[in-house]
Structure 1
């Protein structure tokens, strides 16, 4: 293999390189060793190298699709009518077969590419369930119960790393920026919910996007938080908690106790003068029930302590005893009744 100016290579350069095509297609030991040495000398080309390998892999993996007979017949009739009548039939058949095979391959590649680049992946959790997943860039996400995350199948090829969240998620975003003085769009990470947009580079944060509460708690790093539908935005520092108000402005607690914000990752609720109404709302979010109080004033009672969220029975037991009530259940509705 001939040494080239790999320091100037772009994604397109890699894809057009015969040595690179052979490496992606066959993965022979000598090729793997060669490209490992190239990347060792030019580590700043790793992202372009990876993107090119992924794109070329998609192209090489495309499978032919069967073209509907009525479509091919119609197209071919139009072509055949324009061919001079004195052409031999064997020549027409040969040309037809070549055209059909090419058309099928083009349709297959176009269809596969469209599906890949315009489709999404959604991962969801059931009531009472948590999941931990790795995004294609290596970022780690823990999903709380009754939550979901959606991202593009071609995640690493988009201009920005972007995910959509419903429910609650704890992010450990992988830092991929090589030059702190110049941050490229593809190096940013955006977590989007219906009410909030969180933009980061590499950081750890908790995003809560529930019907009753939208907030971001920053554990480490730096994030920009914006309200969807308004111009409200804030830049958070570690230890700050931003809560979106009903009027789409932010209330920022600069000395927030972060442990309660992330205790759910250990299946716990940490309470410090916490309203019972907030505990009930969390129970409803996690397990899909609706709780009806005999007196709405009960929701304002405040308590301290720790509640296990590992099961609906344990949470309901604590709520019942805090309020000194009996429980009557009808389907997914729970009635708390005075004793």
Structure 2
């Protein structure tokens, strides 16, 4: 990985051309490169996260609220009206202007901090456990991100935006405050429950373990929503087709314990996991291999170990070159 980045500070990242291009106009290849870099250089995770926020906000800087400006101006007036303890000519107008700048910039910095969403990310092959402001617990699967406000208002819904896959254990609030997961073309609304949400470009899937959730689509009326019960599975694909069935929920969240439960799972399904969670490009010249099925359980560690297990399970020969993998039948 690019060794010149090892000593980068947030300022360095902000002015790096390749990094700015990824933040503002990401491509699949660039996204794979930077996710792998973050996974290999966890010490840079915080600097990269700060730089991303600054770059994104620099494209459309928010105006300072009038209320904040009023408070800053009043603070300045109060300071200027204080008794003078030394000759007036000893205080330069430059210092007064500097005071104005410090007050306004401090207010702007605080406003930016409060209104900048928190974003949690995982790299390829990484899982992460989070505790949110309200005590709700979230486990992020590999190559996933969760975005939410720094502070939730007590009279508004607790909203988060998910890309990837996560398991939620939501705490119930005394004021029955709603918790909403925005997952592409589906919104998952709950009060207090445990459920798994998968949201990738091809489909959004929800599995309910306990409690109840209400599903709705942003472009449809709320009264058209669907209420799920424990043990139910719902999927909506990118083309809008939907699937609904009763399942055993535990296998769908086994990834939290770094396990993959197979139940007549096809090789095509496993290839999607390799691509989504480990950033691999998988080539299968013999298409009939994609329909092979298997049942059982396998540990989820790193990509190489998963490939070895797939190779043995389906009696395949696997060749890997960087992030490209080719599967052949023995």
TM over 0.5: yes
Residue of 320, 323, 327 corresponding to 1:329:
320
Matched, 1:196 2:186: yes
| Residues 1:296 and 2:293 aligned together | no
Change (3 A) 1:246 1:98: closer
1:330 Cα deviation after fit: 2.1
Deviations 1:1-53 (A, max 9, x none): xxxxxxxxxxxxxxxxxxxxxxxxxxxxxxxxxxxxxxxxxxxxxxxxxxxxx
Following superposition, the deviation at residue 269 of structure 1 comes to 1.2
Count of residues in Structure 1 that have an aligned counterpart in Structure 2? 246
Q: How much has 1:248 moved relative to structure 2? A: 2.1
2:137 is matched with 140
**Aligned with residue 126 of structure 1, among 118, 123, 127:** 123
Equivalent-residue separation in structure 1 for 2:329 and 2:292 (angstroms): 15
Question: What's the offset of the Cα at 1:223?
Answer: 1.1
Structure-2 residue corresponding to 1:319: 310
- Shift in Å at residue 250 of structure 1? 3.2
Query: Is 2:275 the counterpart of 1:284?
Result: yes
Q: Work out which of the residue numbers 247, 263, 280 in structure 2 matches 1:272.
A: 263
CA distance in 2, matches of 1:164, 1:156: 17
Runs of 5+ consecutive residues of structure 1 not aligned to the other structure: 1-61, 63-89
CA RMSD across the alignment: 3.0
Change over 3 Å in CA distance of 1:201–1:336 after alignment to 2: same
Between structure 1 and structure 2, the one with the greater Rg is: 1
State TM-score, norm by structure 2. 0.66
Name the structure 1 match of 2:72.
none
Match of 1:238 in 2: 230
Give CA deviations for 1:66-92 in whole Å, capped at 9, x if unaligned: xxxxxxxxxxxxxxxxxxxxxxxx768
Contact 2:203 2:238 in 1 (8 A): no
Cα pair 2:183 2:204 within 8 Å, conserved: no
214, 218, 228: which one pairs with 2:208? 218
Partner of 1:259: 250
Q: Distance in 1 between matches of 2:244 and 2:171?
A: 25
* Deviation string, structure 1 residues 255-278 (Cα, Å, up to 9, x no partner): 211011111111111111111211
* Partners of 2:172 and 2:147 in 1: CA distance: 20
Report how far residue 97 of structure 1 moved: 7.8
Cα contact 1:124–1:146 (8 A) shared by 2: yes
Alignment of structure 1 residues 166-177 onto 2, 5 Å: 166-177=163-174
Cα distance in 2, alignment partners of residues 170 and 126 from structure 1: 17
Structure 1-normalised TM-score? 0.65
